[in-house]
Amino acid sequence: MVALETEESGSGSLKHGALESREQWEPKRDAGALVVLESKGSWQHVGFHLTASIAGPPILTFPFAFAALGWAWGMIALVSAGVVTFYSYNLLSLILEHRAAQGRRHVRFRDLATDILGPKLSYGLVYPMQFVVCLGAVISIVLVGGISAKVVYKVYYPDGDLQLYQFVVFFGAATMIMGQLPSFHSLRYVNLLSLLMCLTYSFTITGACIQLGYSDRAPPRDYSLPGSEKQQAFAAFNALALIATAYGNSIIPETQATLAPPVEGKMFKGLAMAYSVIVVTFLPVAIAGYWTFGNLSAPSVFTNFQTADGTLLVSKWLIVMPSSMCVIQLISAAIIYSQPTFDLFERKIADVDKDRFTARNGIPRVIVRVVFLALVTLIAAMFPFFGDVNAIVGSFGFTPLDFVFPMVFYILVFKPPKRSIKFWGNLIIIIVYSLVGLAGAVAAVRQLILDTSYYKLFADV
C-alpha cells in the first residue's frame, strides 16, 4: 500500500509538472491565440495565406529592378532570393515543430525569439522590428491600394477631380469591413480568391507586355545600365532591396499557428503551393516587362502602359482588370499583416471566458480594429511618399526577419558542427543578406533625401 501510494503520489507530481509545462508554453488562456491565431487550418489554407502575403503587386516593380541590375544579375537576384526565403521559411517551420515536440509550442515570432535569444533581445529588438515592419506594410498596402484604385478611375475619367487621398480613404474603409473577420483562419477563402487574382493579373500583365513588345507601339529597347557609376550602384542597391522585400513575410510562426494539429509536414506543403504560384507569377512579369521596356522600365509596369501625355499603349481592360484585382488582393494583404496587431489587441481586451461573438468581446474588437485601420488610413493619405520611408523599414526589418534570424535560430537550436556545410551555408546567407539589407537601407535613405522636395501632405501623386 505504501509503495502504491508513493507511486501514485509521484505520478500525480509528474502530471502536475506536465500540466504546468503545458500551461506555460501553450497559451490556453490567451485570447490572441484562441481567437486571432486559432488552429483549425489545413496545409491548403496555409498555402493560401502564404501566397496572399508574398505574391502580390510588388511584382509590378520587377522590370524596374531588372533595369538597374541587367539581365544576368536581375535573374540571379530574383531566383536566389526565392530559394533563400523558401529555405529560411522551412527552417523556421522545422524549429517551431522541434520546439513543440519539446513541449514549447510557439504561435508568435516574438515568443520563438524569446525562447531562443532570451527576453532582452526578443523584446528589445525582434518584437519592435516585427511590429514596425507589419505596421509599415499595412500603411504601404493601403497607400498602394488607393493608387491602384485611382489608376482605374483615371482610365475612365482622365480629367476627374478626385484626388489620391480620397481613394486611400475608400480603400481604408474596405479594410475596416474586412478587418472584422475575427481570426487569421477566417481569411482562408478570401486568400484563395487573392491567389487566383494574382495568377490572373500576372498572366494578363505578362501577355500585355509581350503583345506590346511585338507591336509597332513598342518603345526602343535598350538594356544598358543608365546613369553614372555612382547612380548605377545606388540603383542596384535599391533593386536588390526591392526584390528581397517582395519575398518578405515576417509572420511565418503566426501563419503556422493556424494549422490544426498535427502540423508536421503541413507547412512544407503550404510553402510548396505558395512558391509554385510565386515562380509562375514573379518570373514571367519580370522577364516580359524588362524585355519590352528595357531600361525605360518604370517603378510600376502600369506606368509604362501609357505615354507621358496619357495615351494608352494597350487596351483599357489590360489596365483596368489587373488594377482592380490588385485592389481586391491588397485588401486581403492589409488584413494579413494586421494580424499581429489584432492578436495584441485581443490579448488585452478580450474575456477568454466568453464567446468571441458576444457583445463583451465583439464590440471592443470592432472598435479597436476600426480605430487602428482608420489611423493607418490617415497616415497613408497624409504621407503619399510613405513608400520611401517603408523602403528603409523593409531593409532594416524584412531582411533580418526573413533572411537572417531563421538561420541564426537554426544554428543556436540545432548547433550544427562548425566545420559542416550546414553551419557555413547558413552563416554565408546571414552575412550576404545582412549586407544586402544594409545596402538597401543606404539606397533608401538617399532616395528619401532626394525626394524631400516633392513631399507634401495629402499630395495627389
Contact 380, 461 (CB under 8 A): no
Contact 437, 400 (CB under 8 A): yes
- Identity of residue 270: G
The span from the CA of 362 to the CA of 354, in Å, is: 10
Q: Is residue 20 assigned to a domain? A: no
**pLDDT per residue of the chain (461 residues) written in tens, 0 to 9:** 333 333 333 333 333 333 334 444 444 567 888 888 889 999 999 999 999 999 988 899 999 999 999 999 999 999 999 999 999 999 999 999 999 999 889 999 999 999 999 999 999 999 999 998 999 889 989 999 999 999 999 888 888 889 999 999 999 999 999 999 999 999 999 999 999 999 999 999 999 999 999 998 888 889 999 888 888 998 898 888 889 888 989 999 999 999 998 898 999 999 999 999 999 999 999 999 999 999 999 888 988 998 877 788 888 999 999 999 999 999 999 999 999 999 988 888 888 888 888 888 889 999 999 999 999 999 999 888 766 666 777 777 888 999 999 999 999 999 999 999 999 999 999 999 999 888 888 888 887 777 776 667 767 66
Contact 113, 405 (CB under 8 A): yes
The angle subtended at Cα 225 by Cα 221 and Cα 227, nearest 5°, is 115
Structural domain count, the chain: 1
C-alpha cell at 19: 500540466
Q: Is residue 206 assigned to a domain? A: yes
Q: By residue range, what is the domain housing residue 142?
A: 31-454
Q: Is residue 49 assigned to a domain? A: yes
Contact 204, 363 (CB under 8 A): no
Determine the 3-state secondary structure of 458 from DSSP: coil
The span from the CA of 213 to the CA of 134, in Å, is: 37
Measured between alpha carbons, how far is residue 380 from residues 51, 389, 441, 451 in Å? 24, 11, 21, 17
Contact 222, 71 (CB under 8 A): no
The span from the CA of 129 to the CA of 133, in Å, is: 6
Q: What is the CATH number of the domain that holds 284?
A: 1.10.4160.10
pLDDT at residue 17 in the model: 38
The span from the CA of 14 to the CA of 439, in Å, is: 53
Q: Is residue 433 assigned to a domain? A: yes
pLDDT at residue 386 in the model: 62
pLDDT at residue 453 in the model: 67
The residues with which 397 forms a beta bridge, in sequence order, are: none
Q: Is residue 3 assigned to a domain? A: no
Q: Is residue 443 assigned to a domain? A: yes
pLDDT at residue 107 in the model: 92
Q: Is residue 25 assigned to a domain? A: no
Q: Is residue 17 assigned to a domain? A: no
For cell 530559394, the residue is 83
User: Which H/E stretch holds residue 405?
Assistant: helix 405-414
Give this prediction's pTM.
0.89
Burial degree of 454 (CB within 10 A; 0-12, 13-18, 19+): exposed
